[in-house]
């Protein structure tokens, strides 16, 4: 019998185990015993209570008030595969992060459960007791310590213990082994003594399946179980979690300010990188990389994929390929935001003249957009409707387009519901809420979002733009290939709006002076008004 006949065939090895064929990890008893020995204590101490803990507790109490007597299940979500056995960096679901106060890449597969406790008998006088279920650090005497590439300390570093998280968050914790029982126990119709359950769906497929099975198994008539009714229950929870974030607390506002400040730093790094970007076949990638480096140095991540769009690419609203050249004489539209370690993100856009100086036509379009942004800011007053910002900004754009002879109808007809011709060059909304998600509070009801009243504690963007595509035959050639957007992050206070991103210049002359100052600090023969 030859060697090939002695070798086990690949058919006998399960497919999901073959990914480990590359590891060549020893499995002898001697190796396992040696790996479990001679490790010093980690030296970790139980930490102090995080600053966010009391705020997170208040958020849980607010949700508890809306769903008395019901079990609430909020998953963090699992790791997501990028390719084969490589995962994306983990980021928990925003609802989970908001109610726990956990940021960074903590706890894939964790689940927060709010268990009904009776009227006012829960945590802090709420109606629920909250428990965070997660998988704590495995002991160094376990095989998981060195063998599990997704959760072993040898591979990914230490994980907090149950006690550490409990101390940090002021939140009861439990091992994830008890999760299935915690979700499924006593599920059933309240009229027969069961507990109704609500779930944030489409976050963790395994939790979705677990809840669905529990509902099916405890239904009076499983064959006629109305899934649409149950889905509606779950949607109400997601809606409530989204609406809870419409007003930011003091801690959240601090995090937003941190994210915006880091984003301003990133824009400075982009301007420093422009000379090299001009010489590179993928100049937009040079810009993207400069901002990303700053985001990772001072924050957790990007809040969203950076738009680094030069020339005609700036007229593509979500241009994230960033594969184009950056040519002298063009403008660069940079839409980027740093996500802080707390997961709160900024969202800022500036449109910069690559050479440091606007041409006459570029300035004309830029200043029209700036006027629109200023009109939106003026309209953003406490008591106004959220949609008033958009109306004020787009009315200004319609007026400018009419002055330039580009509108085929009058301003009055264009801004009417039956018209809207000006939206050919400004098709998107002017504002959105901002926070843990770049488009925060997206599941909120329309009457609380577009028709909502601007209230102290709201954080949102103002971002009008004009986009004149190269192929647009409805406009003179001089305008084609110009895309401009100006976006700022706004905090609503009792006294009116505050521009959190005002440290980045907005006026055309200020932009030019700011860029010139950065260029003057660079080595390499940069001219005072731009670069050669």
* pLDDT, tens digit (0-9, with 9 covering 90-100), for 436-473: 999 999 999 999 999 999 999 999 999 999 999 999 99
Asked if the model's pLDDT at residue 189 lies above 90, the reply is no
pLDDT at residue 532 in the model: 43
CA 501/CA 266 separation, integer angstroms: 12
Grade residue 159 by pLDDT with cuts at 50, 70 and 90. Answer: confident
Indicate the pairing of strand 86-87 with strand 111-116.
unpaired
Instruction: Single out the residue of 435, 391, 433 nearest to residue 415, CA to CA.
Output: 391
89 CB-contact burial (10 Å; exposed 0-12 / middle 13-18 / buried 19+): exposed
* Residue 310, beta-bridge partner list: 332
Is the separation of the CB atoms in 159 and 137 below 8 Å?
yes
Q: Give the pLDDT band of residue 106 (cuts 50, 70, 90).
A: confident
pLDDT-based confidence at 5, cuts 50/70/90? very low
**pLDDT band at 494; cut points 50, 70, 90:** very high
pLDDT at 25 over 80: no
Burial of 159 (C-beta count, 10 Å sphere; 0-12/13-18/19+)? middle
Most confident listed range (101-115, 161-175, 225-239, 248-262): 248-262
Q: What is the DSSP string of 451-476?
A: TPBP-TT-EEEE--EEEE-TT-TTS-
Assign 289 a pLDDT band (cuts: 50, 70, 90).
Answer: very high
What local confidence, expressed as pLDDT, does residue 232 receive?
92
Mean pLDDT of 324-334: 97
Specify the pLDDT at position 41.
79
Residue 137 pLDDT exceeds 80 = no
pLDDT winner (highest mean) among 21-30, 105-114, 146-155, 409-418? 409-418
DSSP 215: H
Q: What pLDDT is attached to residue 144?
A: 85
What's the pLDDT score for residue 46?
65
| Cβ–Cβ under 8 Å, residues 376 and 390 | yes
Q: What is the DSSP string of 158-190?
A: ----HHHHHHHHT-EEEEGGGHHHHHHTTBS-G
pLDDT computed for residue 229 by the predictor: 87
Rounded CA-CA distance 422/411 in Å is 8
How confident is residue 267, by pLDDT bands cut at 50, 70 and 90? very high
Per-residue confidence band for 156, with pLDDT thresholds at 50, 70 and 90: confident
How far, in Å, CA of 480 to CA of 261, rounded?
Answer: 34
Mean pLDDT, all residues of the chain: 92
- At residue 196, the pLDDT reads 93
CATH 3.40.50.880 fits 250-521, yes or no: no
Distance between CA 105 and CA 446 in Å, rounded?
A: 32
What pTM value is reported for the model?
0.93
Lowest mean pLDDT among 9-23, 489-503, 506-520: 9-23
Look at residue 307 and give its three-state secondary structure.
strand
Structure tokens, 459: 């954080």
Across 16-20, 332-336, 412-416, least confident range: 16-20
Encode burial over 11-48: b for 16+ CB neighbours within 10 A, e otherwise: eeeeeeeeeeeeeeeeeeeeebeebeeeeeeeeeeeee
| Cα three-residue angle 223-225-227, rounded to 5 degrees | 135
Q: At what angle do helices 360-379 and 508-521 cross, to 10 degrees?
A: 110
Measure CA 255 to chain center: 13
Residue 157 CB partners (closer than 8 Å, separation 6+): none
Token pair belonging to 309: 């769009």
Over pLDDT 90: what percentage of the chain?
77
The pLDDT of residue 252 = 98
Domain ranges of the chain: 53-244, 250-521
| CATH classification for the domain delimited by 53-244, as one of 3.40.640.10, 3.30.870.10, 3.40.350.10, 3.40.50.300 | 3.40.350.10
Range of lowest pLDDT (91-105, 317-331, 389-403): 91-105
Per-residue pLDDT at 10: 57
- Per-residue pLDDT for 393 more than 50? yes
Instruction: Check whether 233 has a pLDDT greater than 60.
Output: yes
Widest Cα–Cα separation across the chain: 91
pLDDT at 44: 65
Helix axes 53-66, 162-169, angle to 10 degrees: 80
Q: What pLDDT is recorded for position 154? A: 85
């Amino acid at each position: 019998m030859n060697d090939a006949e002695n070798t086990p065939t690949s058919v006998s090895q399960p497919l999901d185990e073959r990914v480990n064929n590359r590891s060549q990890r020893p499995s002898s008893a001697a190796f396992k015993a040696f790996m479990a020995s001679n490790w010093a204590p980690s030296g970790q101490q139980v930490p102090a209570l995080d600053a966010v803990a009391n705020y997170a507790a208040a958020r849980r109490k607010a949700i508890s008030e809306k769903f008395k007597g019901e079990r609430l299940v909020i998953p963090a979500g699992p790791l997501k595969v990028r390719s084969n056995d490589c995962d994306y960096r983990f980021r928990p679901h925003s609802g989970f992060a908001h109610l726990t106060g956990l940021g960074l890449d903590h706890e894939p597969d964790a689940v927060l459960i709010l268990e009904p406790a009776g009227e006012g008998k829960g945590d802090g006088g709420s109606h629920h007791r909250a428990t965070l279920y997660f998988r704590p650090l495995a002991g160094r005497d376990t095989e998981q310590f060195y063998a599990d590439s997704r959760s072993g300390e040898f591979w990914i570093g230490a994980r907090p213990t149950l006690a550490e998280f409990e101390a940090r968050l002021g939140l009861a914790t439990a091992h994830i082994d008890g999760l299935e029982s915690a979700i499924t126990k006593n599920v059933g119709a309240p009229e027969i003594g069961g507990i109704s359950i609500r779930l944030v769906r489409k976050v963790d497929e395994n939790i979705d399946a677990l809840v669905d099975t529990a509902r099916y198994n405890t239904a009076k008539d499983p064959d006629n179980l109305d899934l649409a009714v149950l889905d509606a229950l779950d949607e109400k929870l997601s809606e409530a979690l989204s609406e809870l974030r419409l007003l930011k607390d003091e801690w959240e506002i601090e995090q937003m300010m941190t994210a915006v400040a880091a984003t301003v730093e990133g824009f400075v790094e982009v301007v420093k990188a422009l000379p090299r970007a001009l010489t590179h076949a993928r100049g937009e990638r040079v810009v993207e990389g400069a901002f990303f480096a700053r985001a990772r140095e001072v924050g957790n991540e990007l809040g969203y994929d950076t738009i680094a769009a030069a020339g005609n690419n700036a007229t593509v609203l979500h241009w994230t390929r960033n594969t184009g050249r950056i040519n002298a004489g063009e403008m660069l539209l940079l839409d980027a935001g740093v996500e802080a370690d707390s997961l709160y993100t900024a969202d800022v856009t500036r449109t910069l003249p690559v050479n440091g100086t606007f041409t006459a036509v570029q300035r004309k379009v830029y200043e029209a957009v700036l006027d629109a942004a200023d009109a939106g800011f003026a309209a953003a007053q406490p008591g106004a409707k959220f949609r008033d910002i958009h109306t004020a900004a787009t009315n200004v754009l319609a007026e400018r387009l009419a002055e330039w002879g580009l509108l085929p109808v009058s301003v009055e007809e264009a801004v009417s519901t039956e018209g809207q011709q000006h939206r050919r060059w400004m098709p998107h909304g002017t504002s959105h809420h901002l926070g843990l998600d770049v488009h925060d509070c997206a599941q909120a009801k329309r009457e609380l979002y577009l028709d909502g009243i601007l209230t102290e504690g709201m954080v949102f963007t103002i971002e009008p733009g004009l986009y004149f595509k190269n192929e647009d035959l409805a406009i003179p050639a001089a305008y084609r290939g110009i895309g401009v957007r100006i976006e700022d992050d706004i905090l609503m206070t009792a006294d009116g709006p505050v521009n959190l991103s005002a440290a980045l210049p907005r006026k055309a002359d200020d932009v030019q002076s700011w860029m010139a100052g950065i260029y003057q600090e660079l080595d390499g023969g940069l001219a005072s008004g731009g670069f050669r």
